[in-house]
Amino acid sequence: MASKEVKKKVKLKRTIKVILILSMLLIVSGVGLQTFNFYQVHQDKVKAEREKQLQEKKRQKEEEKKNARKEYNLSMVMVGDALIHSAIYYDAKLKTGGYDFKPMLQYIKPIVQNYDLKYYNQETILGGSELGLSNYPRFNSPYEVGDAFIDAGFNLVSLATNHTMDKNEQGVINSKKYWSTKTNVLTAGSYTSFEDRDTVRILEKNGIKYAFFSYTMWNNGLATPKGKEYLNNEYTPELAKADIERVKGKCDLIIVAMHWGTEYSMGVSDKQEEVANYLSSLGVNIIIGAHPHVVEPIEYINNGKTLVIYSLGNFISDQVGIERLTGLMVTLNVKKVVEKQISTVTVENVNGSLLYTKSNSYTPRNFRVYPYSQLNSTILPNYKSYYEKYKAVVTSRYPNLQFDEVSGW
């Protein structure tokens, strides 16, 4: 009995010892687990705080980047009317068939290609030889005229003129069909439908978005057919307002070509000023004038909001008189500055230079357009006096206009 009691006590002690040991292990492991959990929670908090700091730094950098000053620049060159008289297309005619006007632009091409936007006014309709080429008063020109200007680099073309309807609706259809095959060229002022006319066309170059419109205030009595007013954009304040409102706020730069003014007058009419101020009030940045066939002044209006080139004159023609063979080339820079998400656009570094269409009085006529800076007395006698005369006209409202000098002073 005593032996059994002893065994029971020993067994009980062992059991108690085991329980105590297990209890101690549980306590120790519990403390360890609690410590581990505390450490893990701490680490998670540290990690979360670090991630929060990283996200904040990233947000700040993005905000700084968003608000940082950014500058974008777009260069532009503009010349006047391509007035293609019969003498010009006869001079361009090839013995093998077709026409080549490219040599006529050979002295201008190297200048034009330095710019982003290159504008000219296609005065005469490009209806093609199939409609019969024709001279004043109802012109029609070969498609190859457009080929030469595109080859020289021109990519902004005004089509709304007083000669757009010279070959009636078919002339416009042919012209638009031709231009529609040319990539990287934006035309304005003549369309194939109301839907085509009202299509919003906003292009972007060098981070600057721009829109281009063209209107004529003259039609030589050849009004567009009723219900087909889209063929030639005849100016009304309502039409211009509707067009501009469709793009306003969606682009940085609005350019309008206006066929206006008085033929062969170097003065600015009251109507030109009225229309210019109205277009400026709508938000137009640059107004490019045509129709007078001679140069007219340049000026900023509306406290510098809008640059107006009242008339570039003829770029190439066979008209009589030095004033009609002298045209204006204007170059400029459009600068867009974005700071703190606010965008400001300015038209600056405006520069003028004169051009001259030289031709022989005998066949071949060899029409060539020269910058005045490349003239000499053989090409144009008394060219310096002509330079002073027409420069005075152009700068009369903008005395500080930068102007290219001529050689030989």
Give the structural domain span for 170.
70-403
DSSP 138: S
What does the buried/exposed string (b/e) look like for 329-342 if buried means 16 or more CB atoms within 10 Å of the residue's CB?
bbbbbbbbebeeee
DSSP for 102-130 reads GGGGTTTHHHHTTSSEEEEE--S----GG
The region of weakest confidence among 7-21, 106-120, 339-353 is 7-21
Predicted pLDDT of residue 39: 65
CA dist 208 and 335 (Å) reads 9
What is the average pLDDT score of the chain?
Answer: 93
Task: Report yes or no on 146 lying in a domain.
Answer: yes
pLDDT of residue 359: 98
CA angle 402, 407, 409 (to 5 degrees): 90
For residue 38, tell me if it sits in a domain: no
Q: Does 408 reside within a domain?
A: no
Residues forming beta bridges with residue 72, ordered by sequence position? 336
User: Is residue 311 within 8 Å of 290, Cβ to Cβ?
Assistant: yes
Query: For 293-334, how does the pLDDT look when each residue is reduced to its tens digit (9 = 90+)?
Result: 999 999 999 999 999 999 999 999 999 999 999 999 999 999
| β partners of residue 351 | 331, 402
Within a domain: 43: no
Report how far residue 23's alpha carbon sits from residue 20's, in angstroms, rounded to the nearest whole number: 5
Output the pLDDT for position 171. 98
| pLDDT score, position 2 | 58
Q: Is the pLDDT of residue 31 over 60?
A: no
Name the pLDDT band for 58 (thresholds 50, 70, 90). confident
Does the pLDDT of residue 214 top 80, yes or no?
yes
292 close to 390: Cβ distance less than 8 angstroms: no
pLDDT at 32 over 60: no
Tell me which of 152 and 16 has the higher pLDDT. 152
3-state secondary structure of 405: coil
Task: Provide mean pLDDT across the span 186-215.
Answer: 97
4 domain-assigned: no
Backbone angles phi, psi at 309, to 5 degrees: -105, 100
Using 50, 70 and 90 to split pLDDT, how confident is the model at 38? low
| pLDDT level of residue 15 (50, 70, 90 thresholds) | confident
For residue 155, being part of any structural domain is answered with yes
Residues of the chain with pLDDT > 70, as a percent, come to 92
What angle, rounded to 10 degrees, do the helices at 237-247 and 270-282 form? Answer: 30
Assigned domain for 329 exists: yes
User: Is there a contact between 334 and 208 (Cβ–Cβ < 8 Å)?
Assistant: yes
Residue 9 pLDDT greater than 80, yes or no? no
Residues 352/403, Cβ–Cβ less than 8 Å: yes
Contacts of 387 (CB under 8 A, 6+ apart): 354, 372, 406
Question: Could you give the CA distance from residue 94 to residue 92 in angstroms, rounded to a whole number?
Answer: 6
Amino acid at 217: M
Does the pLDDT at position 135 exceed 60?
yes
How many distinct structural domains can be found in the chain?
Answer: 1
Provide the CATH number for the domain around residue 263.
Answer: 3.60.21.10
Residue 397 counted as domain residue: yes
State the CB neighbour count (10 A cutoff) for residue 399. 7
